[in-house]
Homo-oligomer: A and B are copies of this chain.
Amino acid sequence: MSSFKYDIVKQLGEVSQSPKGWTKELNLISWNGREPKYDLRDWAPGHEKMGKGITLSKDELISLRDILNEMEL
A15 within 8 A of B: yes
Interface of A is mostly: mixed
A69 within 8 A of B: yes
How many identical chains are in the complex? 2
Complex Cα distance A11/B56, Å? 19
Complex Cα distance A56/B67, Å? 15
Which residues on A are within 8 Å of B, measured CB to CB? Answer: 12-16, 24, 26, 40-41, 52-54, 56-71, 73
Min distance, Cβ A16 to any Cβ of chain B, angstroms: 5
Complex Cα distance A30/B15, Å? 22
A-B contacts besides A12-B67, A13-B70, 15 pairs, CB < 8 Å: A13-B63, A13-B66, A15-B63, A16-B59, A16-B63, A26-B64, A26-B68, A40-B54, A62-B73, A64-B64, A64-B68, A65-B65, A65-B73, A68-B68, A69-B69
